[in-house]
Amino acid sequence: MRMQWNFRLVNTRVLMLIFLLLPVFVFSQTVSKGVSDFNKGWKLLMREENKAQVRDFDDASWRSVDLPHDGSIEGSFEQRNPVGVHGGFLPTGTYMYRKSFFIDAANKNKDVYIDFDGVYRNSEVWINGHYLGKRPNGYITFRYELTNFIKYGAEKNVLVVKADNAAQPSSRWYTGTGIYRNVRLAVLDKVHVRNWGIAITTPSVTKTKATIVLKTTITNNLGSNQPVVIKQILLDKEGKQVTVTRDSLNLTRKEHIREQQLTVQTPHLWSDKDPFLYTIITQVIYNKEVKDEHRTRYGIRHFKFDPQEGFILNERKLKIRGVCNHHDLGCLGAAVNRSAIKRQLQILKEMGCNGIRTSHNPPAPELLDLCDEMGFIVMDEAFDIWKTAKTYFDYHWNWDEWHKRDLEDQVLRDRNHPSVFIWSIGNEIPEQTGSDQSGSRIAAELKSIVSNIDPTRPVTAGNNHPDKGNNIIKSGALDLIGVNYHHDEWKHFNSYYPGQVFIGTETVSALQTRGEYKFPSDKLMRWGNTQNPVTNDIYDFTCSAFDQTRAPWGSTHEETLKVFRRYDFLSGMYVWSGFDYLGEPTPFSWPARSSY
């Protein structure tokens, strides 16, 4: 199977090379009002260029590229690459991106914004030579306002992005490098809905009636008292109007928040088996014209986690049978590909999977959109690192300055997705242990940040030391006690943590190679520990598919499922992992480069 994998990878590389040699026609995009796809027509230099942010810089020799783009997957697997075994032995670096575009002169009185779903990492952005800012976190979505620096009509605008992923190692898995998620340009009226400014909740849901509460934040950049109407329209799956509400108000400040309610009779509830989605249209109307409009897909559902009964969705007991997934797409790399994500979710759904944990970072919006459509129960995870490092150049350097902003932006962006049921504030955080109690203080702070924005969902963390001395658990910040592995201790959970709710945040870590079978089939192997060290000269880089091999910290699927199915209070578990990913090829090292 490893030979087959290598053959497919070579073929993928050949196809990529053929594509890169084809002639590419570069165009400059002209943008009119609204939100536009901003992925096409970029220029790329895969090294740092200190003068590239200058508007009139000559980039004619640069390579033409469309986004999303992952430069690391284009490189060669080399043992000397500094990402090492965890990063899959692929190269990184500093990349420069430039894009020329024009804004229609009719938009001189509009506000202009640029939205990035994710740039890995340490991104810096310039517009027409003006510096807009830096976002170190490679997984976070962010926006910059361009209004004061834009040129209109025949005058060219130049947007420049620097992605600096040169310092390695920066992660425990393959990250990719570059603008690997989608980019959009928004040209909006001076009065518009603020970015992520719609908050939707359903405080009351029964089979006969549901109440939807909408809080809309309106930005007023006209600088004067503006009479406006906020109109909310609820459509069913077929596009038929279910109900509507409208409010009039005077905008006397730069920002206003307006709360409205919609009542839905006999609501069609969202579930993993029937992921029914309504559409809420939010309109901002002034001078008798619709000046801004947003469409939000929304699922009505209610749920709870019970200490004895586990997870209950719409009054139905349900075991969460989920998987953990990294953001990359295997040999396709980290560049977002909606079709590839959908294919993975379809295969998982056919297997009986109903949950996804976004391990260990904010996901691409496309993943959550698909989980909404297909019925997955998502654990939306924020961090793999707090203040204490796991690799030398990781996020711990940015923690103090950025963790609050990054977590707020994640929750604001994702809070309206019906598939998101759980917020996770961390994975296997070193601050679980230690006498300084910093884990307790940070956990309490992160819980407060989440709950101030979204008090409707429980907060957890993946604890690989789930004992009574765990600082994160002791903080009382976790609504769900998240446990990584330790399946043989699950049965004692109620005595360890009376009145608390269990969730298996990460489980199993069994090791398998499809089509490889080792005999005797009933012999269990614990690879990678001191009793059975893995040395590359005596193994063939395969693991048995008999479910007889596991990592030393993990368990086989069978022995885990036996415990999981036995106890009602075990609300759910997320198996490591749903799909193989680049990097972390336990139990082997070079030349292995993808997980087992």
Catalytic positions are 428, 506
Instruction: Judge contact between 423 and 382, C-beta under 8 A.
Output: yes
Q: Closest Cα partner for 329 from 339, 314, 318? A: 339
Instruction: Quote the CA–CA distance of 33 and 104 in Å, as a whole number.
Output: 8
**Bond before 121 cis per omega within 30 degrees:** yes
Instruction: Quote the CA–CA distance of 64 and 127 in Å, as a whole number.
Output: 19
Instruction: Quote the CA–CA distance of 41 and 64 in Å, as a whole number.
Output: 7
Per the listing, tokens 């202009």 go with: 112
Q: Closest Cα partner for 592 from 79, 114, 53? A: 79
CA quadruple 54, 60, 62, 67: dihedral sign? positive
Whole-angstrom distance between the N-terminal and C-terminal Cα of the chain? 12
**HSE of 559, CA atoms in CB hemisphere, 13 A:** 18
Q: What are phi and psi of 105, to 5 degrees?
A: -60, -20
Six-digit token pair at 312? 């209950």
In the chain, the amino acid numbered 366 is E
DSSP letter, residue 401:
H
Instruction: Quote the CA–CA distance of 130 and 153 in Å, as a whole number.
Output: 19
Instruction: Quote the CA–CA distance of 11 and 331 in Å, as a whole number.
Output: 11
DSSP letter, residue 235:
E
Instruction: Judge contact between 118 and 129, C-beta under 8 A.
Output: no
